[in-house]
Amino acid sequence: MKYLFAFLTSFLFSAASYACTCATPSVEEAFAKSDYVYVGVIETAKLSDEKEVTNYLSVVKEYKGTRETDILISNVSFSSCASPSAVGYEYVIFGTKGTTPKLESCSQTQVLFNGKKELLSKLEKLAANKPIKRD
């Protein structure tokens, strides 16, 4: 009986949990498909509605194209797949004309924790049209 209870309990909880899976493009793919790429720091943020935050950025460095906006949209979520935003943090933004960039778990738009030197190095090389070494 004890084993049956343990089995049923683990089955119920495992059915409710799941991992985030998606096909995140490589930095090279995201750079090629984007009209503009830049690094910005969130200066202020405003709750747009119950589930969406409008973040206002100041530009730190531009890598490609001319950006149409200094806004980054993020979602309010407690999901394990959430990509929250925070004032004072730097983000690399990959954008396309006609759309406002969004911070999503399955995109290359992301926070730059500890500077992410490797990512910034790749962006420098892509912006200069230099080949990137593959590991």
Grouping H, G, I as helix, E, B as strand and the rest as coil, residue 41 is strand
What's residue 98's pLDDT? Answer: 94
Query: pLDDT-derived band of residue 107, with 50, 70 and 90 as boundaries?
Result: confident
* pTM for the model: 0.77
Question: What's the pLDDT band for 133 if we cut at 50, 70, 90?
Answer: low
User: In the prediction, which pLDDT does 3 show?
Assistant: 44
Has residue 109 got a pLDDT over 80? yes
Confidence band of 17 (pLDDT split at 50, 70, 90)? very low
Q: How far apart are CA 94 and CA 31, in angstroms?
A: 7
Q: Is 114 exposed, middle or buried (0-12, 13-18, 19+ CB in 10 A)?
A: exposed
Q: What domains are defined for the chain? A: 23-127 (2.40.50.120)
Residue 126 tokens, joined = 């892509």
- Tokens 């090629």 identify what position? 32
Tell me what pLDDT residue 7 has: 38
Q: Residue 54's pLDDT is what?
A: 95
For the segment 89-100, the average pLDDT, to the nearest whole number, is 94
Alpha-carbon gap, residue 30 to 95, rounded angstroms: 9
Q: Which residue has the higher pLDDT, 51 or 11?
A: 51
Average pLDDT over residues 69-81: 82
